[in-house]
Amino acid sequence: MGIGKDIAEGMSALCDNLTIEIVETSWLDCWTSDGKLGPKLADGTLDACMTYSHGRGARDTLADFSLAILDDNKAAGLLTLLENGVPKVSGWDDLAGKTIIDVGGWAPTADGLGYVTNFCSNQPYSSNFTLKVGPENDDAMRMLREGQGDGVFLYADQAERYQCTSTDIAQEWNCSLWAGFGTDYAYVQTGQKGWAINGTTLAMTKPGSTVPGLINSCLASFMQTEEYYNICAKHGFVDNCYPNSFFPN
């Protein structure tokens, strides 16, 4: 279940006054495609959801967060189709009159466009664009390929991470949708971090929850241990974790 599970289990072993029960659930139980707190988090079925980024806008207003376990490493970007090698949306475009697709339930959330800068013009984007939402990353890419939008606002590393090889046995995404990176489609903006307040957190909760206060002290202590480093190394996040004395210089 990933780095969040391993850190939570390590915290439970380290701190005598803390036991974290881990269950698996749908992402949409925690944060919905239309940018709201998920139903199981809102009604108290879940006390918290792990590994959510603390973003500006709706997330910051509608949820509370623990300390981050990964640095503010997840930059956003703008993806568009290429037509004869030319981007359908220029990197200079302020997006006025354009239709932009967001991946529902995932950071960066759609309102994050209001917090990032167009690095070509060094100006904010226009608010005069039409927003469409794809429930998952595959849906957003399918919508782009079908001409339902001009660009997709998503993580700047998403397309690269979704590239498949012949040795891939089973992926959780549609490999053919993401084929053609750099020939069929490309990023015209990357490195956009203004949407985030903090990095990937251990716990996202409903407002007023006591959970962040209950776990933050233990989490801070755990992040100084060798086990935290080992977990970061296990999951390939050494460069994204917060270094302590056990990290290589």
User: What's residue 105's pLDDT?
Assistant: 81
Residue 31: which of 9, 6, 53 has the closest Cα? 53
The C-alpha angle with vertex 207 and arms to 71 and 140, in degrees rounded to 5, equals 60
Q: 212 to each of 158, 199, 202, how far by Cα in Å?
A: 29, 15, 9
Residue ranges covered by each domain of the chain? 3-72+197-234, 76-192
Answer whether 3-72+197-234 and 76-192 agree in fold.
Answer: yes
Q: Tell me the whole-structure pTM to 2 decimals.
A: 0.83
pLDDT tens-digit series, residues 181-223? 999 999 999 999 999 999 999 999 999 999 999 999 999 999 9
User: What's residue 207's pLDDT?
Assistant: 97
Q: Which CATH superfamily is domain 76-192 in?
A: Periplasmic binding protein-like II (3.40.190.10)
Output 28 or 245, whichever has higher pLDDT. 245
Q: Percentage of residues in the chain with pLDDT exceeding 70?
A: 98
**Which residues fall within 8 angstroms of residue 114, CB to CB, at 6 or more apart?**
57, 124, 125, 127
CATH class for the domain made up of 3-72+197-234? alpha beta
